[in-house]
Amino acid sequence: MLKNFVLAVAMLFTVATAASAADYATQDEAKAMAEKAAAHVKSAGMETAIKDFMTPGGQWHDRDLYVFVFDAKGTTIAHGAKASLVGRDLTGLRDVDGKQFIKEFLTVSDAGWVDYKWQNPTTNAVEPKSSYIIKVGTDLVGVGAYKQ
């Protein structure tokens, strides 16, 4: 009887863990969305792309994925999860470990990954995140995936 109870609890834990893992996007999905967003900026222009990235739902929001854009000085041009960050210079921003990750974004010369910790909009918890950053002209387009 106890053995059956332990097995049942273990199965529930496994199902719950699998369900919560499905709520997270992968790094491959983040990179694909970043590449798609960079292409959108190039084809539609920055002004149209910003409006699209800032519109809740749709192709620029998927689970915990969203697009953000910074100019060459570290000022937020678009942020799909926190509109209140738009227009703010975030170069001095540090994650919970003290890492100045926006400054690291600015060092990306073509495209690359930057690791840091950030508040997940779906859980409201600060979690490890890896963002794929693509330089488009002088601006930076990025999408990050939270690590489980």
Report DSSP letters for 9-45, one per residue: HHHHHHHHHHHHHHTSPPHHHHHHHHHHHHHHHHHH-
Q: Encode burial over 63-78: b for 16+ CB neighbours within 10 A, e otherwise.
A: ebbbbbbbeeebbbbb
Question: Residue 124 is part of a domain; what is its CATH number?
Answer: 3.30.450.20
Please indicate, yes or no, if residue 16 is contained in any of the structural domains. no
Q: Give the closest residue to 101 by CA, choosing from 54, 44, 140, 45.
A: 140
List, in order, residues 6 or more apart from 138 with CB less than 8 Å away. 71, 72
| 75-94 confidence digits (pLDDT tens) | 999 999 999 999 999 999 99
Highest mean pLDDT among 10-14, 21-25, 122-126: 122-126
3-state helix, strand, coil in the chain (%, to 5): 40, 30, 30
Structure tokens at 78: 């678009």
The mean per-residue pLDDT over the stretch 52-71 comes to: 93
Q: What per-residue confidence (pLDDT) applies to 20? A: 57
Please indicate, yes or no, if residue 70 is contained in any of the structural domains. yes
Please indicate, yes or no, if residue 12 is contained in any of the structural domains. no
Domain hosting 36: range is 25-146
Q: Is the pLDDT of residue 13 over 60?
A: no
Per-residue confidence band for 16, with pLDDT thresholds at 50, 70 and 90: very low
Measured distance CA(136)–CA(114) in Å, rounded: 17
Q: How many domains does the chain have?
A: 1
Q: Encode burial over 83-99: b for 16+ CB neighbours within 10 A, e otherwise.
A: eebeeeebeebebeeee
Mean pLDDT for all residues in the chain: 87
What is the identity of the amino acid at 138? T
Question: pLDDT: is 3 or 82 the higher one?
Answer: 82
